[in-house]
Amino acid sequence: MSKDLKEDVGDHLDNKVERSKSGILSRGAASVVTAVAMLAGVGAFVLSSADTAKAQNANYGVDITPKWNDKGELLQPTEFRALWVYLGSPFTPNALNNGKAGFPEYHNVYVQPSAFKAYRETGKWPEGTMMLKELQLVDQAKGDEADGSRYEVSGRGYFPGAVNGMDVAVKDSSRFGETKNWGYFNFGHHAPPYAKSAAAAPAASCAQCHIDNAGPDMVFEKFYKPILTPLPLPE
């Protein structure tokens, strides 16, 4: 409550008390007291909500934390291309999988800098880690050859085209204990803009594949080892 409001309420109470011959607060003064109590309650509620939000994220060991809305949906991370660490781009094109690859795009994977640093130091991903995967289509998917490859000045190969989707995995044991501490979110498999927020995907659609096939901490680390491992420097 502001200083001016406190002074106004105090003056009003003093006037009501003086006008009350019985020494008991008049009905008007009692209303003011009720209003003061309600304002105090609102302040307590705001503080409690802030404390609750802080407590929910207290176990996160990262600098850029996951953000959640009041429905428990993950808000789309931003600035990942500029501020996060790029880990790699696993790629299984349709042309090499009978035209029916489960994941035909480049999977450009990013992680927060502090999570990257923590993994290098401990071999474990900290609470609050976000693995963000932005999908990128093959440029000229039909290619020049039967296998979908085509030619550039660098040679024959596959080349990245337009971005086409975003998925995010979040490590949060308080929310996703039933799926080995990770939740998985799809912000749309289409051209940007992607969705503002996303609900966690059913366990069978993403988490189960990681449980069955990924490394000990639900991450396909073998694809990113060259970048996760510090680069040897010349002596």
Q: What is the CA radius of gyration of the chain?
A: 28
User: Rounded mean pLDDT of 203-212?
Assistant: 92
* pLDDT given for residue 50 in this prediction: 44
* pLDDT given for residue 200 in this prediction: 97
Per-residue pLDDT tens digits for 85-100: 999 999 999 999 998 9
54/150: higher pLDDT:
150
CA distance 117 to 162: 30
Given a cut of 70, whether residue 22 has pLDDT beyond it is no
Q: Which two tokens stand for residue 8?
A: 């106004």
**76 — pLDDT class (breaks 50, 70, 90):** very high
Angle at 160 between CA 206 and CA 97, to 5 degrees: 55
CA distance 123 to 118: 7
The SS3 of residue 24 is: coil
> Which pTM was predicted?
0.76
Give the rounded percent of residues in the chain with a pLDDT score beyond 90: 69
User: Rounded mean pLDDT of 61-88?
Assistant: 97
159/42: higher pLDDT:
159
12/212: higher pLDDT:
212
User: Rounded mean pLDDT of 35-63?
Assistant: 53
* pLDDT given for residue 141 in this prediction: 85
Average pLDDT over the chain, rounded to whole? 83
**216 — pLDDT class (breaks 50, 70, 90):** confident
Classify the phi-psi angles of 218: left when phi > 0, otherwise alpha if psi is within -120 to 50, otherwise beta.
left
* pLDDT given for residue 58 in this prediction: 58
